[in-house]
Structure 1
Amino acid sequence: MDTLTTLLQPIFGDQIDWKQVFLIGMTPLFLLAFVVEFSVQKQREKTASFQFKEVFANLSLGAAYQIFEALMWVVFTAAIFAWVYSFRLFDVPVNGWTIVPIYVAVELCFYIYHRSSHRIRWFWAAHVPHHSGEFMNFTTAMRQSVLNAFSGIWVFYIGLCFLGVPPVVVMFCLAVSLAYQYFIHTESIGKLPRWFEAVFNTPSHHRVHHGRNPQYIDKNYGGSLIIFDRLFGTFEPEVEAVTFGITEQIHSYNPLVLNVHEAVDMFRDAMAPGAWHQRVKHFVMPPDWQRPGHQAIRTWPVTSHAPRAERTITPDIMRSE
């Protein structure tokens, strides 16, 4: 460990981003798992979920995400965590007795972050690339946004550091959760034993989370655990076949468009004429909130899959006056 720390310090400084180190180190295993998944599904003659353009977009988004997350940690986030930790209320020991409660606390923070990312448009703008894929395989887990690095999602975890959990422990627990979540992005695994499905997030639970079926929208926010969804009423079992994607489906494999399309539309909505106290709501209200008297702007073409709707919406820049 000392040798690894010495090697990484020139890159990260004294505050090493163990989350990104762990996830980057896991990447070869992630890719190997994808190869195995594809082989299994090919034998089953079920390769429809492996679309080359989408897999390539997923991998591109994942690579950019890892780079920007690491850079933001070096430039900004590490200093924030260290500063908050310097004012900690307690010194929480990290040992065999405390690591499980700490991990569960990190999972609760992830649940709050994840739920907020679906119900607050500012965070949704950074999270939506993960949901815009219309197929599910292991590479879908890599479908992340560079905007995660700038949206301020660190606020959901900083409280644990203020309580006294070392930042390195918070980030490492989060990394373990994220690594686990990679393996629940698949259609190749059915339902697992009932006791496991009762406690842990599973491929079945997470397929629901990625569905745009009306009953599946905004359900199953858990990371590696599903207990908080059951506790807070956001759990939904997988019953009918899942249709993957978002209700306002973007049609692009361009990583740049996938990263920024919702953020661009959000800012354009907020800049449209109207009372300022209504315009600012575009940042804090749910993604489907509509300002009275304002038509939602779509810079790129989308197809609406909202209930009782199936139409292609022409992007605003192509509309005739």
Structure 2
Amino acid sequence: MPDFPNIILYAIPFFIIAMLLELYVTLKQGLKTYETKDAFASISMGLGNVFLGFLSKALVLLLFFFVYDNFRLFTIPINAWAFVLLFFLDDFSYYWFHRISHECRLFWASHVVHHSSQHYNLSTALRQTWSGGFYTFIFWLWLPLLGFHPAMILLQMSISLLYQFWIHTEAIDKMPKWFEAIFNTPSHHRVHHGSNPIYLDRNHAGILIIWDKLFGTFQPELKSVPLNYGLVKNIETYNPIKIAFLEWWYMLKDGFSGKKSASDRIKYLFKPPGWRHDGTGKISNDLRQEWLDAQNTSNSHETKN
């Protein structure tokens, strides 16, 4: 078992210093990005994620080792080239985990936590799920099957999580063009946290924005469309317990109350957020298309006038 450090724990002092620095910079810029109750709610969610992470990571490590020891196709050595390859494969896995977490309500139930703040700052990066670690690992199960050592995989997953901390800020407008073209940046990730119809379910990248460009989910930040952060329907609470589990309650209530077919009950677990069995719901694609149609109609009227 390689003796890799728990880099998330070592990074906690850095998180605190970075948040204080961001607060100072944004105040100097005249931006009010922090709200006390919201920030403490985010930090509480982050602490809960760290504590529960000891249990969930132990479970994940056991399952990764079970696959690695019994079913691996190759034995990939622990060296530099293997980490380079793993960097891309892990980031590819993260993209699909993140995208499905927006397109399947079962995964959204845990991921919604991260989008529940109506503010965008470094404390928002700490607003992490308490439940997702126990089942979202399935998107990475193919890596020990290929032959990557489980400890390597967990280390690379932690590196990806650390990278994504710094992009949760309004203090940085744009990075150099070459960087914006390849990597996930504050600008790209602000889009991801936007609740405006044009921004919904876009820019799912972890480290590399190239996956969104390849698979058709990229959306640049538009100066003409100022960002509204949060959810389409915000939950309006700072209670960590509610933040962690409210969507689970809503999902189960939608699926298992009232008169519905067995098929429709199951669909509430796997259809996108906003879907309803009676056709009254609107998913993000519907909201985006309505917005685009309204923009086209408006532009058409302006052209005629």
Give the whole-Å Cα distance in 1 for the aligned partners of 2:21 and 2:279.
51
Aligned to 1:146: 130
One of 174, 185, 188 as aligned partner of 1:202: 185
* Contact map agreement 2:26 2:33 (CA 8 A) in 1: no
One of 271, 283, 287 as aligned partner of 2:273: 287
Aligned to 2:19: 34
Aligned-pair CA distance for 1:236: 0.5
Q: Which moved more, 1:87-96 or 1:29-38?
A: 87-96
* Contact map agreement 1:69 1:148 (CA 8 A) in 2: no
* Contact map agreement 1:120 1:284 (CA 8 A) in 2: yes
> Unaligned regions of 5+ residues in structure 1, if any?
6-15, 297-304, 309-321
Matched, 1:232 2:215: yes
Aligned to 1:62: 46
Amino acid across the alignment from 1:206? H
Aligned-pair CA distance for 1:72: 2.1
Q: Deviations over 1:10-52 (max 9, x none)?
A: xxxxxx8x6xx21121111011000110111122222x21100
Aligned to 2:86: 102
**Residues 237-316 of structure 1: pairs in structure 2 closer than 5 A:** 237-239=220-222, 240-272=225-257, 273-292=259-278
Aligned residue-pair number: 282
> Unaligned regions of 5+ residues in structure 2, if any?
292-305
Matched, 1:169 2:145: no
Give the TM-score, by structure 1 length: 0.84
Amino acid across the alignment from 2:262? W
Give the whole-Å Cα distance in 1 for the aligned partners of 2:130 and 2:162.
18
One of 195, 203, 210 as aligned partner of 1:212: 195
Give the whole-Å Cα distance in 2 for the aligned partners of 1:109 and 1:70.
22
Aligned to 1:117: 101
* Contact map agreement 1:119 1:287 (CA 8 A) in 2: yes
Q: Percent identity?
A: 38
Give the whole-Å Cα distance in 2 for the aligned partners of 1:53 and 1:229.
33
Aligned-pair CA distance for 1:269: 1.0
Aligned-pair CA distance for 1:153: 0.5
**Residues 79-90 of structure 1: pairs in structure 2 closer than 5 A:** 79-86=62-69, 87-90=71-74
RMSD: 2.0
4+ runs deviating over 6 angstroms: 293-296, 305-308
Aligned-pair CA distance for 1:249: 1.0
Matched, 1:72 2:68: no
Give the whole-Å Cα distance in 2 for the aligned partners of 1:205 and 1:293.
32
Give the whole-Å Cα distance in 1 for the aligned partners of 2:251 and 2:91.
29
Amino acid across the alignment from 1:109? S
Give the whole-Å Cα distance in 2 for the aligned partners of 1:126 and 1:212.
18
One of 114, 124, 132 as aligned partner of 1:130: 114
Give the TM-score, by structure 2 length: 0.88
**Residues 178-193 of structure 1: pairs in structure 2 closer than 5 A:** 178-193=161-176
Give the whole-Å Cα distance in 2 for the aligned partners of 1:294 and 1:136.
31
Q: Deviations over 1:108-166 (max 9, x none)?
A: 0000100010000000000001001111000100001101133x101000101100011
